[in-house]
A and B are shown apart, each in its own frame.
Chain A
Amino acid sequence: MAEPKATESLPKLPLATLIAACALAVVSHAQWLPLWVSAAAGALLLWRSVIAIGVGALPSRWVLVALTLALTVGVFLSYRTILGRDPGVTLLVMLLFLKLLETRVLRDTFVAAFLVYFVALANFFYSQSIPIAGLMLATVTVATAALVGFSAPRRSLVDNFNTAGRMLVQAGPVMLLLFILFPRVQGPLWGLPQDAYLGMTGLSDTMSPGAISALSLSDAIAFRVRFETATPPRGQLYWRGPVMTDFDGTTWRVGLPQLRREMRVDVSGPPIDYEVTLEPHNRNWMFALEMPTRLPPSARLTSDYLAISLTPIRTRIRYEMSSSPQFQARSGATPDDLAAALRLPAGVNPRARELAREWRATLPDDPAIVRRAIEFFRGNGFEYTLQPPPLGRNSVDEFLFGTKQGFCEHFASSFVFLMRAAGVPARVVTGYQGGDTNPVDGYMVVRQADAHAWAEVWLQDGGWTRVDPTAAVIPVRVELGLTAAAPAGMPLLMRNGFSWLRSLRNNWDALTNRWNQWVLGYSPERQLEVLSRLGMKQPSWESMTLILFWSVGGVLLLVAAWLLRGMRREDAVQRAWLRFCEKLARAGLERAKTEGPLDYAGRAAHRFPASEAAVRAITEIYVDQRYGPGSDAASLDRLKHLVREFAP
């Protein structure tokens, strides 16, 4: 079992293939690696390629040790740690290239190829999109072709890729079965490093001017919705997110979330049933249409009608909900709650306070004040823009009486300030408004660009009532969406008027959605769902393993049959003859190694006189068929029959 010693330099073509695989595995990491790491990786790759074409020699061990130390220190300086996900991935990339630089013998190429597989896997920490999946499939193919090349150095590159491709195609069914049937465990198995969930976008638990308008420029998808019942009109599509009660003059913050056993929502009219597929955003809240009446089992409703999950949402999740657009929300209105909904920071925005006092003095009741405020916003030439001028300390005064240019958070914030100053309990609600239905698959897509902020006021008759001052100023924002309201400054694809681009994007989104639902979203729950749809009544991990075992075995048999189809077996005549010899041998008459059929038959006939006729007949047919000019099926059948009946 000794390894053939590979002191000679590695074959060039497979080595070049391996280097290409390394480059492919790392190229998409460049998006998230620090710039200097990408540069260093590129330099090392170039260096190794130059050595591979015969210029210069591989670096000595000391150079490699020095390089390793330098790069590790570099990683530490970049991240201030070498533990955690991102430094780990960076070190893995480094390791791959350093290994490539010390790849001298066959054994090293295996280590390098396996590292390529690891680095390919590490890509999925950051993105599991279809393009990345395709890139990694290409990476695996190239790395496999390199392995094939090393085991048969004289073959051509095309042949190696051919073999690698064929093997991957044959591995496909095994992969599919394992993917569907391998008993899934919900991770994580242990605590994940702190930085595992960086870079997720979404609403925050604070709102300062500019926060939502920044989010509005993002094309990223917040969640997708499939309506079981009819899609409600756009004006009802208020997806409720964090509710902000505390205001310090510039920034709104959520109050302490409180879970109460009994949440009162009085609803009328039929409920809307829908399923939400929420992208991970590393926060607890789940988005529901106002007002949610039925929640998924893992969710709870806070006192301000926010559906929250018990753990931060770090993977894409799917849940079903029901909501009623006609509602009266009366919870969350204890004296403490109402007092909090009236609290204002002292000493800021004197003009707004003055205006509010005037409304309180002249108007009869709270609804009238609300109406008056809406009229105020509608009549004073306010402008809706994604790039409002910056505001100072008295932000509400400056906006209301000065700049008059703002985004939804300015309108909502000023409106709530006015209400509180006038003595009407009010709060800011953030969330998403609207959503586009993809005509390709019927899913509604809600993007970060649909982020919105509106207000809620407490009215004695109606409970917490939604008031959207933005809609008052720019009705088109709610009726047609942000793109229509503020076209300038939006990303190209989000503007109207590029219909073919939009249809392209719709198709792509639908494909991505299917990918998300069926590939990325294949959770333990979905696995159970699929298996019970396939007819497994009570899928347990034992039965799944058993089915997995048999189905993979069956697939492998098929693959083996396919692979061995080009085999030429010993012909049937020879097989029959060998069986005959075997029978004689068991009866005690073994054929000598060099004995011809006729001699052997002579001995057999002598030894077993009773079966002499059969021996003669068999031998005659055998010799005739094997050494004669032609063969025919009838004789073969007769031979087989005679051998079967033969019993010395």
Chain B
Amino acid sequence: MTPEPENFDALQRLLKLKRCEQPPPGYFNDFSRQVMARINRDATEDRGRSFDRLFWEVPWLGRLLEAFQAKPALAVTFGAAVCALLIGGVIYSASMEYKPAALPTISADAEQATPAPIAPAAFGLSDPAEGTLAATGTNNSLNPIIQPGGSLFDQFRINPQPVSFPSRGNGD
């Protein structure tokens, strides 16, 4: 026993009357413009609120701004001072010359105190000449020289240089 299906045709025709209800003429011409204006206004208010929050969190900034508003001359003076500082800083930094710090030199005593050269075998080098380079002159472990502009690891790079040993004997 199923209930008799109801006929809503007349009601649906009547509901068509709702479709004929129209807003005032030209209403939709202005609608999107109003929405956009409110979006822009909300964005501006949000920015204003963030400024208010900033002034609340940094009260001296607010007082400074109030002072500037009350005395424009103060604002001009402050601005001029900031500009002068900026320009002075630029000029000063431009006039500065780069002077690299003097490298420490090793006295003769200190050179004598230099530990004996590490055996070449310790580096796994076959050529004895290669093993001495780390301890010769100022280019040793006590006087590291960092090349400006190079990698931090350049100082650990082994640069083989030819070394001449004084010849002995033969009466030459």
Is the A/B pair a real complex?
no
Residues of A at the B interface (CB closer than 8 Å) are none
Residues of B at the A interface (CB closer than 8 Å) are none
